[in-house]
Amino acid sequence: MATQAEKGDVFRALHARDHAFVIPNPWDLGSVRMLDGLGFEALATTSAGYAFTLGKRDGAVGRDRMMEHVASLAAATELPLSVDLENGFGDAPAFVSETIRMVGDAGAVGGSIEDATGKENDPIYEIGFATERIRAAAEAAHAAPFAFTLTARCENYLYGKPDLKDTIRRLQAYQGAGADVLYAPGLTKHDEIATLVKSLDRPVNVLVGFKSIRLSVAEASALGVRRLSTGSALGRAAYGAFLAAAEEIRDHGTFGFGDDVPGFSDLSKRFF
């Protein structure tokens, strides 16, 4: 059984290689164990994917329940686990710092903090305050008794502000505040990704698995990207297949979806 310290060192080392690695995002124990068995090197949670399992929208799961979820996933795999911590579940830097300590206690060796406020009329924190929040998170992360990898996220592109210059400015500030990995979900153009990578001196994560971006692991590596995450995409793929099957039954009274699903024994052997 790998210790948390060993997992933390493994996770940190993955970012130091000269090519990108994929960190897929499971949403429950079953998906963790399937991905673990497929040979991936690390896993990351998805706040949206987990919320869907509870019949909730993304952002509607509180911190305490999320920590219970993280603890169950971390205990179910030997792989390093990083956690989608949304905005830290609160505004104040001290609250964000406490969230980092809690997720470390839950067994994770990494986590991301975003600069989205969760408020429709004011979706992105002011850069100075956002940087304070990352600094508080970084101080807590780097005080852990193991290597905790903190990812800082700029949410501009997800909230209708596709401003590369401001995104770079923000991520440079978060880098200066102590973030270990930088991430701007929603970037899709290869030239913009390359510009972002060249403007930073920390490993960069890119979100893949949605229609507007076509980026292979080899292409990402050539651009200087060091990590690729799938966010809610795998969960949406599973729910999408479920929805299509259910609609076929409802609308046509047929069951053709069964022709393409894995057999019971094929799936069962992936769980342990």
Q: Over the stretch 139-176, which tens digit does the pLDDT of each residue have?
A: 999 999 999 999 999 999 999 999 999 999 999 999 99
Q: Which two tokens stand for residue 12?
A: 């940190």
Whole-number Cα distances in Å, 142 to 4, 35, 70, 236: 14, 28, 20, 34
Nearest CA to 73 among 47, 42, 108? 108
Calculate Rg over the CA atoms of the chain.
19
Q: Contact, 226 vs 17, CB < 8 A? A: yes
Q: Assess whether pLDDT exceeds 80 at residue 92.
A: yes
pLDDT for res 269: 87
Contact 195, 153 (CB under 8 A): no
- C-alpha to C-alpha distances, 133 to 3, 13, 91, 94, 136, nearest whole angstrom: 29, 25, 8, 8, 5
Domain boundaries, the chain: 4-232
Q: How confident is the model at residue 267 (pLDDT cuts 50, 70, 90)?
A: confident
For 184-234, how does the pLDDT look when each residue is reduced to its tens digit (9 = 90+)? 999 999 999 999 999 999 999 999 999 999 999 999 999 999 999 999 999
Alpha-carbon dihedral 211, 181, 46, 71, rounded to 10 degrees: 160
- Whole-model pTM above 0.75? yes
The Cα 178–Cα 138 span in angstroms is 5
| Span 98-110, pLDDT tens digits | 999 999 999 999 9
Amino acid at 73: L
Residue 44 has pLDDT above 90, yes or no: yes
Torsion of CA 163, 177, 95, 123, to 10 degrees: -10
pLDDT at residue 141 in the model:
98
Q: 95-142 pLDDT, tens per residue?
A: 999 999 999 999 999 999 999 999 999 999 999 999 999 999 999 999
Using alpha carbons, list the distances in angstroms from residue 244 to 4, 254, 259. Answer: 40, 12, 13
Whether residue 272 is predicted with pLDDT greater than 80 in this model: the reply is no
How many helices and strands in the chain, by DSSP H and E? 11, 8
CATH topology of domain 4-232: TIM Barrel (3.20.20)
Question: What is the model's pLDDT at position 53?
Answer: 97
Determine the pLDDT at residue 240.
Answer: 96
The stretches of 54-189 forming alpha helices (DSSP H) are 63-75, 93-105, 127-142, 164-176
Q: Could you tell me how far CA 29 lies from the centroid of its own chain?
A: 16
